[in-house]
Amino acid sequence: MQNNQIKLPTYVETPSINKDSMAGEGPFKATVEIQNNLGFPGEKVENWHQVAIDKMSETKSKYRSVQVFLDSCMKCGACTDKCHYFLGTSDPKNMPVARQDLFRSVYRRHFTFAGKYFPKLVGAKDLDEDMLDDWYNYFHQCSQCRRCAVFCPSGIDTSEISMAAREVMNVIGVGQKYTNQILGKVKKIGNNLGMPEPALRDTLLDLEEEIKYDTGVDVKLPIDIKNSEVLMVSPSADFFAEPHIDGLIGYAKVFHESGVSWTLSSYASEAANFGMFIGNYDVMREGALRIRKSALDLNVKRVIVGECGHAWRVAYSFWNTLSGIGGGAEDDYALKLQNQLDSNYPQPQHMIEFTYDLIQNNKLSFDKSKNNHRVVTFHDSCNVARGSNMGDIKNGQFILPREVIRAACNNFIDMHKDSIKSSTFCCGGGGGLLTDDLIDLRIKGAKPRMHALKQSEQESGVNTLAAICAICKSQFSRVLANYDFDPYMVVSVHQLVSDAIILKEKLDQ
Shortest spacing between CB 432 and ligand SF4, in angstroms: 11
Nearest to ligand SF4 of 76, 335 (CB atom): 76
Nearest to ligand SF4 of 77, 198 (CB atom): 77
270 and 431 in contact (C-beta within 8 Å)?
Answer: no
Nearest to ligand SF4 of 146, 256 (CB atom): 146
Order of strands across the sheet that contains 230-233: 262-263, 230-233, 302-305, 349-350
* 309 is a contact residue toward ligand SF4 (CB under 6 A): no
Residues for the chain: how many in total?
509
Shortest spacing between CB 155 and ligand SF4, in angstroms: 8
Nearest to ligand SF4 of 303, 385 (CB atom): 385
Shortest spacing between CB 137 and ligand SF4, in angstroms: 14
Quick one: which of 60, 93, 99, 244 contacts ligand SF4 (CB under 6 A)? Answer: 99
Quick one: which of 102, 148, 182, 489 contacts ligand SF4 (CB under 6 A)? Answer: 148
Nearest to ligand SF4 of 147, 402 (CB atom): 147
Quick one: which of 32, 76, 199, 205 contacts ligand SF4 (CB under 6 A)? Answer: 76
**Whole-Å CA distances, 6 to 3, 106, 222, 279, 472:** 9, 37, 44, 33, 19
* 142 is a contact residue toward ligand SF4 (CB under 6 A): yes
Q: CB under 6 A: which stretch of 108-116, 152-160, 164-172, 183-191 binds ligand SF4? A: 152-160
Among residues 235, 356, 311, 309, the alpha carbon closest in space to that of 467 is found at 309
Quick one: which of 30, 124, 156, 174 contacts ligand SF4 (CB under 6 A)? Answer: 156
Q: CB under 6 A: which stretch of 142-150, 274-282, 456-464, 472-480 binds ligand SF4? A: 142-150
* 158 is a contact residue toward ligand SF4 (CB under 6 A): yes
Quick one: which of 6, 45, 51, 73 contacts ligand SF4 (CB under 6 A)? Answer: 73
Which neighbouring-strand residues pair with 119? Answer: none
20 and 91 in contact (C-beta within 8 Å)?
Answer: yes
Shortest spacing between CB 275 and ligand SF4, in angstroms: 18
Quick one: which of 12, 35, 60, 85 contacts ligand SF4 (CB under 6 A)? Answer: 85
Amino acid at 479: V
Residue 272 — φ and ψ, nearest 5°?
A: -60, 150
* 93 is a contact residue toward ligand SF4 (CB under 6 A): no
The rounded distance, in Å, linking the Cα atoms of 327 and 188 is 27
Taken in order 336, 337, 340, 346, the sign of the CA dihedral is: negative
* 77 is a contact residue toward ligand SF4 (CB under 6 A): yes
Shortest spacing between CB 153 and ligand SF4, in angstroms: 6
* 124 is a contact residue toward ligand SF4 (CB under 6 A): no
* 108 is a contact residue toward ligand SF4 (CB under 6 A): no
What 3-state class would DSSP assign to 297?
helix
**DSSP class of residue 318?**
I
Write each residue from 409 to 448 as x if it is in contact with ligand SF4 (CB under 6 A), else as -, in one continuous string: -----------------x----------------------
Shortest spacing between CB 202 and ligand SF4, in angstroms: 38
The rounded distance, in Å, linking the Cα atoms of 110 and 99 is 18
Among residues 253, 173, 171, 245, the alpha carbon closest in space to that of 216 is found at 253
Q: CB under 6 A: which stretch of 155-163, 198-206, 240-248, 416-424 binds ligand SF4? A: 155-163
The rounded distance, in Å, linking the Cα atoms of 205 and 238 is 14
Shortest spacing between CB 106 and ligand SF4, in angstroms: 17
Nearest to ligand SF4 of 274, 356 (CB atom): 274
Q: CB under 6 A: which stretch of 70-78, 322-330, 339-347, 356-364 binds ligand SF4? A: 70-78
Taken in order 158, 162, 165, 167, the sign of the CA dihedral is: negative
Query: What is the SS3 assignment for 239-288?
Result: HCCCCHHHHHHHHHHHHHHHCCCEEECCCCCCCCCCCCCCCCHHHHHHHH
Among residues 462, 445, 486, 376, the alpha carbon closest in space to that of 147 is found at 445
The rounded distance, in Å, linking the Cα atoms of 429 and 22 is 16
The rounded distance, in Å, linking the Cα atoms of 246 and 80 is 38
Q: CB under 6 A: which stretch of 79-87, 181-189, 199-207, 272-280 binds ligand SF4? A: 79-87
* 139 is a contact residue toward ligand SF4 (CB under 6 A): no
Query: What is the SS3 assignment for 136-176?
Result: HHHCCCCCCCCHHHHHCCCCCCHHHHHHHHHHHHHHHCCCE
236 to 295, contacts with ligand SF4 by CB under 6 A?
none
How many residues touch ligand SF4 under the rule CB under 6 A: the total is 27
Among residues 145, 432, 435, 386, the alpha carbon closest in space to that of 274 is found at 432
Quick one: which of 109, 147, 285, 350 contacts ligand SF4 (CB under 6 A)? Answer: 147
* 143 is a contact residue toward ligand SF4 (CB under 6 A): yes
470 and 244 in contact (C-beta within 8 Å)?
Answer: yes
The rounded distance, in Å, linking the Cα atoms of 397 and 218 is 32
Q: CB under 6 A: which stretch of 13-21, 92-100, 214-222, 405-413 binds ligand SF4? A: 92-100
Quick one: which of 12, 52, 70, 79 contacts ligand SF4 (CB under 6 A)? Answer: 79
Nearest to ligand SF4 of 59, 94 (CB atom): 94
Interacting residues toward ligand SF4 by CB under 6 A: 73-79, 82-83, 85, 96-97, 99, 142-148, 152, 154, 156, 158-159, 162, 426
